[in-house]
Chains A and B, each alone.
Chain A
């Protein structure tokens, strides 16, 4: 079955710096890769996603890149702000209604 690895497990940056979180997946049938943000006491919330027919997607300060050949995808956050501090999860699925397979999460801390 699918296995998703995520690095780093913790990341601390200064406000205004960029943050990059990387994930790899194992199943070439996976074609949907969402990123979720989880704040304390809340459930995961989708922040951006990408399908395998696209190499990059951007939404304001957040971007995701996908290298299908290498089976890895990354989350890029630019101009980080303290409110970006949270746990970020990557996930993979074969799309549609299929289950999500999650990475272990990255705790991002943005220091003012």
Chain B
């Protein structure tokens, strides 16, 4: 069964460093998302992406964040200058079409900022 994959599973970085989290959505899906979950808190929406542009972004998704679909398979989240409070589990999700509802989630990348 097709699945969303994410790499790395765990990323440790120093405050101020740039990180890139990578996702490979399901191949025939058209909509892509990033969510994050700070330990013990809700899963929060960060950004949605469709047709090579951002559809919606949350207040969390400030100028330090960016997303890209550099080729036909990868979907990346970049944090330019990480802060301690960026430490969280980051989930990528994909959706087949606007007529569908089910977002398929990847296993997540745990980001630890020291």
**B106–chain A nearest beta-carbon distance, Å:** 5
Interface string of B32-44 (1 = CB under 8 A from A): 0101000001111
Q: For residue B82, which residues in chain A have a CB less than 8 angstroms away from its CB?
A: none
A44 shortest CB reach to chain B, Å: 5
Contacts of B108 in A (CB 8 A): 42-43
Interface size on A, residues (CB 8 A): 25
Produce 1/0 per residue, B41-55, CB < 8 A to A.
111110010100001
Cα-based distance from A43 to B6 in the complex (angstroms): 10
A interface with B by C-beta (< 8 Å): 32, 34, 36, 41-46, 49, 51, 89, 91, 93, 95-105
Q: A36-B105, A104-B42 are in contact. List 10 more A-B contacts (CB 8 A).
A: A43-B108, A51-B101, A91-B43, A93-B101, A95-B101, A96-B98, A97-B97, A100-B35, A101-B45, A105-B43
